[in-house]
Amino acid sequence: MKYTPKEITEEVNISQVHPLVNFAYLLGGVIGITLLVYFGLGVAVDFFVPHMSAEREKEIGDALAPTVPAQFAGTELENDTRVAYIADLLDTLKEPGDMPGIPFEVHIIKTDIVNAAALAGGHIFVTTAFLEQVQSENELAFVLAHEIGHLSSRDALKGMGRSLFLLLGSILLEIGTSGTTGAPDIVAYTINLNTLSYSRQQEYAADVYGLSSVVRVYGHGGHSLDFFKRLAEEERQYPDRLLKVSEYFLTHPLTQKRIDALETLSIERSWSLEGDLIAPPDGLDCPNFQCRDAGTE
């Protein structure tokens, strides 16, 4: 039997499958891989953060810190002597042996926004408007100790989520840095302190850390919750007048349940919420503790 080859036509290299079907398969594969990477990075964050070295955490915090004042619509006060007082108080409140290799670095931001925040690497930010609200060292200590609690648990790093890996990559590869601050440009997509929020569990854990530290240092938790209670009440009564104050509650949602939980915890652990009020240092609400009398130039 004689073999007769078929004539080769132009259609020999044309797929019998419609191009849109091929495109759908390709698109589905890309989406599938993207989703796997996306969820994989989410899981990796929870595993990676607790094992991160203090040096690496400090690198991240140092890269992000220059961007924070602008997020508070303010500027950092340089060489303010109040920094030393706050840093000493932080060192006293930190639980013994906690966060080895990560010293505190205090930043005072001049702004009308009432807030305090913690950033990876031991960076603590307090605003001048917040210091103007402080009426006792007790309540200042609790707010600061609460922020230490977030640092201790590395909540800020966890809150960055998958963006943490983008930031790490930019730091390691030394790309995408800003000429003005030296911070990676990617930080704009990595963290925004004004929108940063923590889970209920993280907030409660930071509350417990804060109250525990205050009781350890002062022997009681008296007046430590006054700041929260006072601002919450003022915000309810004068919502229009205290719009800037509400910024604090955006980053630290305050509910009566949290206060009730701390009061219940104090009973369970036999912590007294009664005790002497310790006045803050004179001039805490003024640069370098130096307040000029009204009417002076």
Task: Name the DSSP letter for residue 10.
Answer: G
Question: At residue 186, does pLDDT exceed 50?
Answer: no
Cross-strand bridge partners of residue 184: 177
Tens digit of pLDDT for each residue in 14-55? Answer: 556 566 666 676 766 666 665 555 555 556 667 777 888 899
Task: Name the DSSP letter for residue 278.
Answer: P
Tens digit of pLDDT for each residue in 111-150? Answer: 998 889 999 999 999 999 999 999 999 999 999 999 999 9
Is 155 within 8 Å of 202 (Cβ atoms)? yes
Question: At residue 78, does pLDDT exceed 70?
Answer: yes
Tens digit of pLDDT for each residue in 192-243? Answer: 554 456 777 888 899 999 999 999 999 999 999 998 888 777 767 766 655 5
Closest CA to 108 of 157, 148, 136, 68: 68
Q: 193 phi and psi, to 5 degrees?
A: -60, -25
Lowest mean pLDDT across 149-158, 160-169, 175-184: 175-184
DSSP string, 65-77: GGGHHHHTTSEEP
The more confidently predicted of residues 19 and 70 is: 70
Which of 13-27, 35-49, 167-181, 266-280 tops mean pLDDT? 266-280
pTM score of the predicted model: 0.76
Structure tokens given for 174: 């030394």
Q: What stretches of 34-127 adopt beta strand conformation (E)?
A: 75-76, 105-110, 116-119, 123-127
Question: At residue 179, does pLDDT exceed 50?
Answer: no
CA torsion angle for 225, 227, 228, 232 (degrees, to 10)?
Answer: 140
CA torsion angle for 68, 72, 75, 79 (degrees, to 10)?
Answer: -70
